[in-house]
Amino acid sequence: MIAVIGDIHGCYLTLRDLYTKLSEITNEIYTVGDLVDRGNYSKEVIQFCIDYNIKPVLGNHDDLFTRAIGLKPFNGNSREYWIRNHVLNGGEKTYQSYNPGFSTQNLDSVAEAVKLLGHDKFLLSMPLQYEITNLVITHAGISRFSNETLWHREKLEKLKKLQVIGHTPHQRYIYKSGWFVNVDTGCVFGGKLTAAIIDEVKGTALNFVQVKFRKEDTENVIW
């Protein structure tokens, strides 16, 4: 039995509340990615995941962050391109969590802070998916209409295994038995942080655990 947490987006205090509940159920905890951006505490979220062995897949926001600060190749685009796109997607809050005096003209100080904490190794180790018996965890899901799992919002493919995803927020979690679970319930937008409790052998969701969003996580948030 494992737990899979939805998009966290820097909501450290809310994550801590959810973890308290989950730790009474299982010590095998995963997340669908998007640890960073929009909320105030991206650095703290990453450190919490390291400290408590929470295993994330890579989300599109995590990928943007690593490219903007130069941890990953720019894939034919300029660094300014990645910084601009990251800022448009709430990245300034992530930079601020690592260095309150940051400047988008020079993010080297942010990269240095990330490396000093060892967070670079953690970020670069995040896989695109986990496949655990009859369960597949990705950020946006596996679809026959897309060849990537970070950004798309296409209809998900019906695999022989249950897909657990996030990326597209909803007011309530979505569970289509034998097909997929979406655990992104828009925490950073004032919703809830949700985790699915999964029987990975049977590929079924047993239960859902939720906590209310803590407003302190996004005070003065940059959308």
Provide the CATH number for the domain around residue 10.
3.60.21.10
Hunting for tokens 């703290």 — which residue is that? 44
Summarize pLDDT for 72-112 with one digit per residue, the tens: 988 878 889 999 999 999 999 999 999 998 877 778 899 99
* Segment 133-144 mean pLDDT: 96
Q: What is the pLDDT of residue 1?
A: 95
Summarize pLDDT for 7-50 with one digit per residue, the tens: 999 999 999 999 999 999 999 999 999 999 999 999 999 999 99
Residues spanned by the domain of 210: 2-218
Q: Is residue 105 part of a domain?
A: yes
Report how many domains make up the chain: 1
Q: How many CA atoms lie within 13 A of 209 on its CB side?
A: 20
Summarize pLDDT for 149-170 with one digit per residue, the tens: 999 999 999 999 999 999 999 9
- Separation between Cα atoms, residue 214 and residue 211, nearest integer Å: 9
Q: Is residue 223 part of a domain?
A: no
29-31 and 55-56 beta bridge pairing: parallel
- Separation between Cα atoms, residue 195 and residue 111, nearest integer Å: 30
Q: What is the pLDDT of residue 223?
A: 41
Summarize pLDDT for 189-214 with one digit per residue, the tens: 999 999 999 999 999 999 999 999 99
pTM: 0.94
Residue 80: which residues within 8 A CB-CB, separation 6 or more? none
109, exposed or middle or buried, with CB in 10 Å at 0-12, 13-18, 19+? middle
Q: Is residue 214 part of a domain?
A: yes
Can you read off the two tokens belonging to residue 124? 């670069």
* Segment 171-182 mean pLDDT: 96
Looking at beta carbons, which pairs linking 112-119 to residues 24 or more positions away fall under 8 Å? 113/43, 114/69, 114/71, 117/43, 117/47, 118/50, 119/43, 119/46, 119/47, 119/50
For the cut 50, the answer to whether the pLDDT of residue 173 exceeds it is yes
Q: What is the pLDDT of residue 220?
A: 66
2-5 and 29-31 beta bridge pairing: parallel
